[in-house]
Structure 1
């Protein structure tokens, strides 16, 4: 047996016996070298082995800590193969590390916790977010950033507030983000839809809608669209921006999965904006955890005063503890470490999903139209008009496969295509092929 295995086994036994308690620090590399009379690389391997066993986590420049094992999933899978649930895999998130940051934030930001918040968000977090956004090619002055309670809050404020162009109608992709669509449907906001398919949008139709003269802003997800999973090309982004400038329309760019992008050349629309037309929205829910409820909006100068006013009507500021903990998490290097660590398993799932759906399309070309490869954890299939979608969903559920249509992603009066959403947040990479295979078997019986 390798020495590092023996060290790891003894540390694991110490964890089980309570010698090293949950959340407490493990012996350092130096201490392990002294106790086991081993070299530094052996001690490092032993601690790395505990990480692989999901017994410990590392805090950069601090050491290794015992991972809490008492967490329970807030949402269990709805079936043996749950392709419907879009919430991120709770096991992949750094609860213990972030708990450490919360404790530090309560100590470090004591004075801020006893105030009524800030005008735009915790200054230290705004500074950290500004530096982080630059890695996504979003270069903006710090005074143009504002912290929100998630991207959803920012979207609702933008829908409600007046814009300098004096227009009132919201243009949304169809299908689109279901909470925005439901809000527009429920409260009767002026809204129009434009069809988005696996091949993008019709730019001629977009110009026609812009030219009508009442589009306040175009709400779009250029990258890893929800629910389609596809992304715009650079040419499409430039064309959309050009039309927005020509017809005095703003663009609200929801870049909620930017942290999962591996293509260094895939820049957001914001990076090409020379006329202050784009509102850029950054989410931390998918890369961290939804309960954090922290997002960052980058606003044109003309929109900032009114946005701040409307934000104050909702609440004075987002949670200062959450903001402080996130700032510490980013500045300590833990965010970057976690992002790099979590990308790999999600990309494996994305590849497994693309492969499995590709096999389905090749087997059932008369019933299924595919989106083509996507680079993230969700995609979609479009069914032939002859397929009874309700029967497909019922039959799949009997086989332990849970899927959903995209009906909730459409405006009430917009024509709906027969789209089935596929998300692998709750399915391990090794099981995706079998789950999609079962779905294909059910689909083949519905010819």
Structure 2
């Protein structure tokens, strides 16, 4: 990350948390330069960015001051504690940054953005993405990268196109991504499920399914599983890739929260694949905002031609304006700045949720079980007592302004469902997490 963005992030956080209050004078440029061990021009650039966002203002021969707010409606507060919504928190959307990138993209590309592009995606964005993917240990050629309208489009295309193994059935973890499950069942696609728990997956069962069933591809979220919040170990990832190669089954790896990873040694399944059996998917919607609808699919040579043809027939190309703006956003360093900000924010929320659940589970083992993964994620879950009826619990909590979502839609209609309560903190403010958990436990005790 550029040094000025580190300074920008730190000062922005001090203002947003109130450590630097309205009207306060910021430390001098000389002081900040010494503190961050950088040039004065770097500090000035960071201050100018804050000034553009109307967070500070300069006074000639005096310095920079925090802007006084004339309208307190900018602070969004809801009495509802929302553990259901998994989309990014609107309060951390990079509105101004992305507006700048949109304007810059239009100015740079002009008419090119308003004509048909290519089904593969904006070539300049693909080059930027190729370099960025190396940060996730995904090394590939430009020819194998496709820009899609979100991961959902990539999944529908992969479900539709013929595969070299000539197999038909999709294998999906249970529970899993609800919209993909709905897509498969709505279109009558042959599908099988395999149980995934907090402890992982039964590799013997997976091998049995690969060996005996007609599996086209296995859809998995190898890290930060939705809704469980768990990640596969390195050993599990390697074993699954070996089984896929052995039985000629493709893996579709949905790495939708890769940008939240804090462990530099945690690599995707794709990095262990030496036989072109892993298809890698990445989303930008979860780290920026859902409406962006830009995803990346890394497609092996044996599937690239069919993927290109089917995508061309489906939508001609994905939004060129969104692609161009994303390119500017990444190249400018704004993406890395925002990623760091989001990662830190979600990590603090996740840690608070984990701490609260651990504390309450130790005192209420008869009510629920919580499996500590040691890798806090915005998603997590608790396993309820078998006597608890989930839907009435969710309705009762809603009356107390606690919003939860049923896990039933995360299962295939024919698959046995666990008594699981899923929790997501991406839309819960840190200071309200413990309050929300307390109310959930209190209601469980009543039941």
TM-score (norm 1): 0.85
CA distance 1:113–1:195, shift in 2 (3 Å): same
Hey, what does 1:187 align to over in structure 2? 187
- Point out where structure 2 has 5 or more consecutive residues left out of the alignment: 1-14, 31-38, 58-66
* Corresponding residue SS for 2:170: strand
Given that 1:151 and 1:283 are in contact with CA atoms closer than 8 Å, whether structure 2 keeps it comes out as: yes
Asked whether 1:443 is paired with 2:444, we answer yes
**C-alpha separation between the residues in 2 aligned to 1:69 and 1:299?**
51
Hey, what does 2:128 align to over in structure 1? 128
Note the 1:337-416 alignment, pairs <5 A.
337-373=337-373, 374-416=375-417
TM-score (norm 2): 0.85
Cα shift at 1:438: 0.9
Given that 1:245 and 1:275 are in contact with CA atoms closer than 8 Å, whether structure 2 keeps it comes out as: yes
**C-alpha separation between the residues in 1 aligned to 2:338 and 2:175?**
31
Cα shift at 1:398: 2.5
Cα shift at 1:286: 1.0
Given that 2:279 and 2:297 are in contact with CA atoms closer than 8 Å, whether structure 1 keeps it comes out as: yes
* Corresponding residue SS for 2:121: coil
**C-alpha separation between the residues in 2 aligned to 1:400 and 1:7?**
31
CA distance 1:435–1:44, shift in 2 (3 Å): farther
Hey, what does 2:432 align to over in structure 1? 431
Asked whether 1:287 is paired with 2:287, we answer yes
**C-alpha separation between the residues in 2 aligned to 1:105 and 1:444?**
55
Structure 1 segments of 4 or more deviating over 4 A? 4-8, 39-46, 48-51
Cα shift at 1:56: 6.2
Hey, what does 2:139 align to over in structure 1? 139
The number of residue pairs the alignment matches comes to 412
Given that 2:119 and 2:318 are in contact with CA atoms closer than 8 Å, whether structure 1 keeps it comes out as: no
**C-alpha separation between the residues in 2 aligned to 1:88 and 1:391?**
27
Cα shift at 1:444: 1.2
**C-alpha separation between the residues in 2 aligned to 1:218 and 1:54?**
48
Given that 1:8 and 1:50 are in contact with CA atoms closer than 8 Å, whether structure 2 keeps it comes out as: no
Structure 1 range deviating more: 145-154 or 372-381: 372-381
Given that 1:7 and 1:46 are in contact with CA atoms closer than 8 Å, whether structure 2 keeps it comes out as: no
**C-alpha separation between the residues in 2 aligned to 1:379 and 1:9?**
40
Cα shift at 1:43: 7.7
Q: Deviations over 1:206-253 (max 9, x none)?
A: 011101141000000001001100000001001100110110000000
Hey, what does 1:15 align to over in structure 2? none
Cα shift at 1:40: 5.3
**C-alpha separation between the residues in 1 aligned to 2:354 and 2:48?**
31
Hey, what does 2:23 align to over in structure 1? 9
- Point out where structure 1 has 5 or more consecutive residues left out of the alignment: 13-28, 31-38, 58-65
Note the 1:269-288 alignment, pairs <5 A.
269-288=269-288
